[in-house]
Chains A and B, each alone.
Chain A
């Protein structure tokens, strides 16, 4: 038990640290900006927020936008901490992304999935926690989500997320085939300013079980399959966005894995901070019933 508490403490210390570093960076850069006027060039909210795996996106879905407020001439970045409190579990994710010249994005996220009482029921121990690191890269291929208001072409990006789960032995016992794998996705995002809408869709090729938290592949299959992610959001005002999302998942483990949905509100008081609150439904996760709950995410950006 003490080790579990220590691990949880270590986790929150690390999450807090990444936020503190990001906050310090934003303050430092903001004051530098007053002289050089060289940072924070994108329009408010147009780089989205950090999705659960660390890439720029909505909450669950990945978007084609590049993280941070850097324009084609600048480097930007973001750091985030997200907590999803579900009926029987708690998922935490924290990490950072760097956007280079509104063209490339590198991201990292560490996820911790606390099984709480279910862990004991499964014989893993109460509070048994699955951990996963996600290393992401994204490149914008064509289109501009903001400026191309006179064209149908959305902003399109190609990305990958390399996932390394730390719980190999337990994953094998669950029936998963692998403890690391790489997702590949194509995302298309368009902001319709006139209609105040953001529409985004992504096709993700993955073999992940519950995003990879329960490993990759299983008795029901082991190949990468196309999954769909979609977001529709309404720009209530420049600093307030309301939206809904969906993300399909596949049941490789034969444990009844289901699609995920959320309804979110994201608030951007300024370019350095955003807060996203969502109601999520991640579907069935091992135990009977759907896992629903509240998603809260804090992001610092520059």
Chain B
């Protein structure tokens, strides 16, 4: 993975001697190496799925199942306030939706849960959710995670798992 601390190396290399041809080669090499390292760091989508073992440890970044539930509850309350998502959730049963979503997030993250709710396509059919609504939901989730003090790494992990669901949720 390309760590943020890798970038200054390039800057340092680039700052040497204006006319020295070696420095150019050094810059090119550093660049290619970083690009290559970045590509290796990416890994395959299937490898990602295997990474998370089905255990409590998978939820440690979220404060365990309890932490995940608290964050999810806050998330649902936010959805009822955001002007873009509110109309969809006006009549939602908050505890029930929190339970469904907590289960689903927990299972996706590799935690010890099984999602017992309905199929994503089926649930969202007839709602006519637009991409901008989906993104508003993602933004509220991000805010709820920030509020809960969840690390950037864990935030991106959950967002990455949810992103492909856009196809099941939007435009149905």
Contacts and interface: CB of A to CB of B under 8 A. Distances in A.
Contact of B45 (A149, A246, A258): A149
A224 to B, nearest CB: 24
The residue in B44, B130, B139, B157 that gathers the most chain A C-beta atoms within 10 A of its C-beta is B130
A41 B135 CA distance: 7
Interface size grouping (class) on chain A: 35 or more
A205 interface: no
A222 interface: no
A235 interface: yes
Interface in B102-141: 130-132, 135-136, 138-139
Given A197-B38, A235-B156, A87 B18 contact: yes
A232 B131 contact: no
Contact of A152 (B2, B7, B38, B45): B45
Given A37-B83, A196-B152, A290 B10 contact: no
Given A41-B135, A199-B42, A232 B2 contact: yes
A259 B139 CA distance: 39
Interface string A181-207: 000000000001111110100000000
B54 to A, nearest CB: 18
A295 to B, nearest CB: 12
Interface of A: 34, 37-38, 40-44, 71-74, 87, 102, 146-152, 192-197, 199, 230, 232, 234-238, 242-244, 246, 258-259, 261, 263, 279, 281, 283, 288-290, 292
Interface of B: 1-4, 7, 10-11, 14-15, 18-19, 24, 27-28, 31, 34-35, 38-39, 41-45, 48, 83-84, 130-132, 135-136, 138-139, 142, 152-153, 156-157, 159-161, 163-164, 166-167
